[in-house]
Structure 1
Amino acid sequence: MLKKYFEDDSYNIMPCGVVAFQNDSTLKIISANDYYYSTYANGNFESLNICEEDKNIIADLKDKNEVVYKCIVSDGSIRYICMHLTKYNENDILGILMDVTEQHTNLVRMKDERRCFTFALKSSKNIVFEHNVADDNMTLYIPVKGQTELKKLSIPNNTEDAVYELTDKRDYGYLKENIYNEKVENISVRMKLPGNKNYEWHRIFRNFEHDEKGNLKRIFGTITNIEDEKHHEKELKEKIEIDPVLHVYNRNAGVERINEYIKSNPESRDYALFVIDIDDFKNINDTYGHLYGDTVIAMVAEMLNKATDDDAIVGRYGGDEFFVFLKSSRIAENADRVVDNVCKINISEDKRITCSVGVADGRIFEEVPNYKALFSKADKALYSTKKNGKAHWEIYNENIVYDNSSHAIDYEVEDAENSTELFKTRDMMKVFLELSSSAKNSDDAMYKIIRYVAEKFDIDWFQIMKVNTKEDLITISYEWCSDPKFQNNAGKRGYYAHSDIEHFKEFFEKYPVFILSNEKINGFSLKFQREFEKNKKNGEVVYNANITTGDSFFMFVCTRFGYENPWQIEECVELNMATKLMTMYISQSDKETENEKKLRKIIDYDRKTSCYTIAKFYEQIGRLRKFAEEKDEQVALLHTDFSGMLDFNERFGQIEGDKVFTEFVNCILPSDNDYNIITHIDGADIFFSAFRFKNLESFDKIDALNKQFSKMINEKYPGAHIIVKTGIYVLKTNEVVGVGLDKALKAKKTVKNPTESFCIVYDKDKHENSRC
């Protein structure tokens, strides 16, 4: 070994390699210390020991201070070496070597983690932020469509001003007040982030980091776009607050919005409240009937929406009374249109409808009024209008003559006043209308009516079931019980044998009401016979329904606990009249609007693949099991996922990955989905499916289908390596679906490192004790 540069033994005790070599392409070693020869040389004493693929790294060392290369050392392992360079003279270079394998491994792992983090962030469409409190700067990591890296946006200094630019002015105060409040779990504000054209709702999740003294040091977290969620919330809220038939606000929702507007505009008085009453409406009901009266109310509601300003708040107090809140001082223009347009509604050739309107002008108030203050003035003006001949409008002033009694109905009375005693001698339809008009929403109205009917007929337990004769599906629409410990089952549903549904339908077509007895249950399946027996244990039970020509009908189950108060035939006849009216009411409120249909689609179907959501999947399992039982078939549960999907998404993109899922659903879902149902677990590559079968040949078809599908995808996307893995479990009678899916997963996990697509059927002896 040459000692040209390393004659001093101190070079040999250095815990790293020291080497001198010629500064040319030969990399010929001139001299080295013992550590280099024993550790890094690996028998190569003529030139630097560098893996072939890295030799180009140090082929030209001009102006370089250090290089990192890969070599194979004496023990056969691959090591990464960092060489710090010094030019000893024109011809020779001195290098000090450090083993940086561990650092390199960590760096690679960090890059992999960053790549996974970036992929996960781009998939979730979340934005990660970091706010350094001490330095007052913020950094946003934003996923950009079509780019593999995240866009980094730094907002140095004056962070509040920068955030103000991002945040809608309506929410800036709320954000400033709560951004540092650790007790507030998350914050929802409207923001316009880079790339957005408009302000959209975002939810900010935060984590707080403190220094040793407990001072806030850093805030970091995610910003999630919740614009769709807010839109759905708005649709659901409108569904609750807006009358589904009249398309105007109910009283509580309308009053809330009026007060919100007044509170948010404290300096303005340019608004007015109209109180509107249909003249002689009782005569319309008495002459033409209540159903016609309801039609008149609907026509007036439609007219009010058209005759008043677009931003007016239109609502119904109840009965034949409405209110309109104008967000302007165009009183005469709007009031004239209201009175004139109502007069255009004809009852008959010689009879028109008229209305009276009382108006309260916000400009008469010195202090900021509220709804009650406006209503008080408008109500007095309405009284004056009625007294002075009706069919016109008057605006409140101090000279109006009125008595102390309010003309408008005060719907703020306690529910206790709406007791059965008050209605015992009055028309039942009128009672239903008055109860529903004072309700917060249609469900509240229905339960008010149910309580009234339950008290009138001494019913302890009341169920209303919707029977879908087309799908053989029975849903508990409403349920009420006098026992306060009772658990409400409204919303539960189940599939029943078609013969049972047909038997019910045929029975109710002949006898709209029957008292449950042993002879009545003959002909029903064992499942329904058990239901009947369970109901009989509670007491005296009456079944009631009014069959129409449609695909569904409502069945009323009325139970009196115990047997001390048996049902009488006369009571059953009167009860049937009540349920007829209730059927009419439910049928109106049960009709789905276009928005409800859209919401139902979102709830029932996965938006990426159009297959069922997980909740709908579990529901449809009941239908599948029912069909299987009728056809003497079995039900198989399938747990399917893909290998290679992460690499696929990184290479071809998330959109193409979603297309693969959609193609998979279309491939395995036949046109007759009475035999097969499927759901996609959102955010994952997992599918649950179930199908009916009679013999095991169906499983061979699934195996062939998996192989065929993976071959098709891998050919369509060169470089992809998708493997479809399916576990199958045959569901036993009354066995829980979740348990079956777990066993299908357990069977699938026993196949280690598969090289091709497969399906495997759960076998208790093989898979129960296997380690997964």
Structure 2
Amino acid sequence: MMKTDEKNPVFDIRDTLEKYACIYRNTTLKIFQYCQETDTYERLDEYLRPVKNITDFKNSGQKYSNVYKDDWKFLTDFLTSREGGTIEVRCINKDGNAGLMTVRGFIAQDKNTGYHYFIGSSRDITREKLQEEFLEERAQKDPLTGLYNRFFGKELIDEYLASRNPYAGCGMMVLDVDYFKNVNDTYGHMFGDEVLKRFAELFVALFDINDVIMRLGGDEFVIFLKDIGHATIMKKAGKLIREVQKLKFPGTTYLATCSVGICFLPENVSGYTYQQLFENADWALYQAKKNGKNRYAFCDNLRHFEDKTEKKQELYEGVEIDARYLHNDIVSTAFEIFEKMSSFQTAIELLMKVIGLKFRLNRITILRTEVAEQKTDRIFQWVSEEDYRLLIDEIHFLKSDFITLFRHNDEYGTVVLQESDLADYSEQGRKNVLQGGAKTVVCAAMYCEGSYTGTIVYVTCREKRLWSREDRKLLGEVTKIISAHYAKNQAFNSVYRGIAAESGWDQLTGLSSFSRFREDVEKMLIGGYGPGHAVIYTDFEKFKRINAKYGYRVGDQILRQFSEYVISVLKTDMDTYFTRAISDHFILFTPYDMDGDPETFALKINQEFLRQMKEKYPDMKLCVRTGIYLITKECANASEAIDAANYARKYAAENCETGVKLYDEELKKQSDAE
């Protein structure tokens, strides 16, 4: 027997049983034997002597055991089998926590009684399993976000692609956070890490549990969607863009946006790997970022590349806004939008969306007010959700309410109205303010040449909003910009055939829209009134350089002045139609003198206009090209006439300020040959 302490035992080294007992005492093993015929369990000590005996073990043994009730039958079936082996069962540890125990052994038969014994051991492996799971998770997961890391995520995706159902589609999104370097530089890397974790939480909430969500590194992520259709993945991409914009980071002005590239693999297409899909989705991500960020671009199954930025919708979807507008100063953004857009309506719709997103609004309404008649008309509106839409076009108000509102204007021309603080207004006035579930309303006054013309109403509906002095100042400044451009737009439109905002008119020039122009010309040709008319197609060569050098405001001014000048020199407006087809392309349908020379007429117009521009912009190099088609009886439709004039324009003289070319028989033969 052993004579000294457990740490340094001294015993007869030839004593095998003593050696075994020493080993046993230094392990977590528990040794037992179970007689199958008598249903008796015996716990053995280190010298293999019985120290605990339980009869009727299958029925009564559980009360002495820490094995889970649901696993008890599994254990007893294992002990009564004639095979032996190893199993794992759940148990309750001494601390009351769930654990795991392994049971292993073999079957032996007593040669004296013939009874069969299961001789085995049990061991608590809870800590080992936890460590194993921890290490496995560390090998699979990104430590910051808890998402799959790039290595394990790639392995899962390749496994799916190798064995996927051929009748199911799948897709890959590659995503990164817009301007993430600026986030780290402005708020610090700890805040940047918080942004990445919030993105990860959003991905887990938005996508299916079977999808593979992984962090590639930095601010780049991959989301692989299994068993999905083309339309569904596009909807999910749009929702992802919108939900990212809703992320809030208290205590900061940070507004999160992201760019997404998508590659879709349709059903009945196989043989593609993670790397192939990733390269195409990454290409699409580049397109999204190149086109302004805060959007997604789509690459369909390696066959063709197509930008799928969402088309304009009446309700705000977010994906069509250049992310720069969300991060830049709102006043500078307003100036830039009005400068770049050729249409006031397009500009105001975009600007309202930017303001709505930047200030987290639910509705913006531009109201034109007629004080004498005590009514206001809605002329533009943006809403974040359909439920917040203001449905009434015309609103009547009391003079007393108008005076109260006017007196509360601050130095920025704004007044903040809270749902709970409208005691100074009439019941009708309160109803007007609280339409569409409004909680907080900011009214910003609009003026034109010193006269009050209306108001822009900035509304939050979900919750009460406290507006800082700085934010009210910004809204006041933006409202002034909108007022000025609206007044300019109204004044310009009054010159040409009513309000250009009505359907059928180009809002930059006031000319007929291209579709309306083509319809009018078509009617002339069908009626047999075409002969004696000419289609004159003019454009400005490399006009993008003018915009780049002098700015969009100057470029728009030149286009408007050209349309005004052409109208001014026309001898008659009878059976005359004029349109700006696209950008700097103009088409004129007009009668011409059979004895005159239409080429000389067009050349004089171009030369005189260029002379005027030279006086105004001495350093500007404008080049104008014009093609002319004389309508004949054989001309079948408007498109044929327009195409012929456009074809002639392409062959107008080069290397000079203006060139004019008539679509003659030689060009006709050349066109037919092509």
Q: TM-score range by the shorter chain?
A: under 0.3
Task: Provide TM-score, normalisation by structure 2.
Answer: 0.27
Task: Provide TM-score, normalisation by structure 1.
Answer: 0.24
